[in-house]
């Protein structure tokens, strides 16, 4: 039967279905991403590959994998996979949309709330023993009720964020590839800007120095999409200059972010280690869908969640 190389351990028991179907499961067991040499070596004898956003699946790797039929990417984003190169070699690529929509929308809204009410800063006041008397003018944040939320990329996740915003009586502006509020207008009018676009050549550094300069000096930028959608150097400069009020990020460029990176020293910034889909239910469902895609590909059936060829 077939060999399936899996580049990380995943939550849930769905991987056992690969062996139950008679295939050989080759699992990377270490608590770190697979290095490039090991990825090339292990994938070269595989019929299917289950990978994550940290694995670069490019033409070089695909050329080294003559048996490969399916690449199943664990996640909704697939900018780590050269889909066109895979298609040119007859290799199908899949992802895991839908199942992480609510978890990601929840985290985007959690970041929005945390930044608006200055939660990291005020938590530090308590844990560092700096909590004095109650001050009427102390630690003033921003109201969500009545504020304007700009959603850039109103796909499944963006729409889910908009539904949550409705519960806070926020005005929602949306910009998509199909239209909506023009991006310059959205940036100028919004009190909060939440990013939900895939990483493509067109969206890389979509939020650059010019875009940041359009935002209100009190506005907060939230990014749960991909780090390179934002120009990191421009964001650091904007935060230091007070061009925007703050940034709350689950994704960064680079990623992971080194502890001494200048972004972490910028004012009013909140950074998380890419945990948008990190709930037990969501990650387990992602594993199940990934295995569904692999088993379908190995059986010669269409993938349930095939990535379209560009």
Task: Write down the catalytic residue from 226, 243, 283, 285.
Answer: 226
Are 190 and 173 in contact by the 8 Å Cβ rule? The answer is yes
What is the predicted pLDDT for the residue at 84? Answer: 97
- Per-residue pLDDT of the chain (310 residues), as tens digits, is 899 999 999 999 999 999 999 999 999 999 999 999 999 999 999 999 999 999 999 999 999 999 999 999 999 999 999 999 999 999 999 999 999 999 999 999 999 999 999 999 999 999 999 998 888 999 999 999 999 999 999 899 999 999 999 999 999 999 988 889 999 999 999 999 999 999 999 999 999 999 999 999 999 999 999 999 999 999 999 999 999 999 999 999 999 999 999 999 999 999 999 999 999 999 999 999 999 999 999 999 999 999 999 8
**Is 56 among the residues known to form the active site?**
no
Supply 216's token pair. Answer: 């209100």
In eight-state DSSP terms, residue 309 is P
- Of 185, 233, 183, 190, which Cα lies nearest the Cα of 208? 233
- Specify whether 188 is catalytic: no
Active-site position among 159, 185, 255, 261: 255
CB 71 within 8 A of CB 49: yes
Q: How far apart are CA 84 and CA 229, in angstroms?
A: 21
What domains appear along the chain, each with residue ranges and CATH number?
A: 3-99+280-298 (3.40.50.720), 101-271 (3.40.50.720)
Catalytic residue among 214, 274, 283, 285: 274
Q: Which of 279, 309, 232 is nearest to 110 (CA)?
A: 279
Q: Which alpha helices (DSSP H) does the chain contain, by range?
A: 16-20, 36-43, 59-63, 83-88, 101-116, 119-127, 156-166, 183-189, 209-214, 232-241, 280-298
Q: Which two tokens stand for residue 104?
A: 């990601």
Q: What is the pTM of this model?
A: 0.93
* Catalytic-residue membership of 226: yes
Q: Supply the pLDDT for residue 179.
A: 85
Distances (CA, A) of 34 to 101, 190, 201, 283: 27, 41, 26, 19
């Amino acid at each position: 039967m077939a060999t399936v190389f899996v580049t990380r351990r995943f939550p849930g028991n769905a991987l056992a279905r690969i062996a139950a179907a008679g295939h050989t499961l080759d699992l990377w067991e270490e608590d770190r991403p697979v290095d490039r040499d090991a990825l090339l070596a292990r994938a070269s004898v595989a019929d299917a590959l289950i990978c994550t956003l940290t694995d670069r699946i490019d033409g070089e790797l695909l050329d080294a994998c003559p048996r490969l039929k399916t690449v199943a990417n664990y996640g909704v984003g697939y900018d780590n996979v050269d889909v066109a190169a895979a298609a040119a070699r007859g290799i199908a690529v899949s992802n895991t949309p839908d199942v992480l929509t609510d978890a990601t929308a929840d985290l985007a809204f959690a970041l929005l709330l945390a930044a608006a009410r200055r939660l990291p800063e005020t938590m530090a006041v308590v844990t560092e023993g700096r909590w004095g008397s109650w001050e009427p003018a102390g630690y003033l944040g921003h109201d969500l009720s009545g504020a304007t939320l700009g959603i850039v990329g109103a796909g499944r996740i963006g729409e889910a964020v908009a539904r949550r915003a409705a519960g806070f009586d926020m005005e929602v502006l949306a910009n998509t590839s199909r239209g909506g509020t023009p991006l310059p207008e959205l940036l100028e009018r919004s009190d909060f800007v939440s990013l939900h676009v895939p990483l493509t050549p067109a969206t890389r550094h979509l939020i650059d120095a010019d875009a940041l300069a359009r935002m209100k000096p009190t506005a907060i930028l939230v990014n749960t999409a991909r780090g390179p959608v934002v120009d990191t150097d421009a964001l650091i400069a904007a935060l230091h200059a007070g061009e925007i009020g703050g940034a709350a990020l689950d994704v960064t460029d680079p990623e992971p972010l080194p502890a001494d990176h200048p972004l972490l020293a910028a004012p009013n910034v909140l950074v998380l280690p890419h945990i948008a889909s990190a709930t037990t239910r969501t990650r387990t469902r992602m594993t199940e869908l990934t295995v569904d895609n692999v088993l379908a590909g190995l059986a010669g059936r269409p993938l349930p969640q095939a990535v379209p060829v560009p």
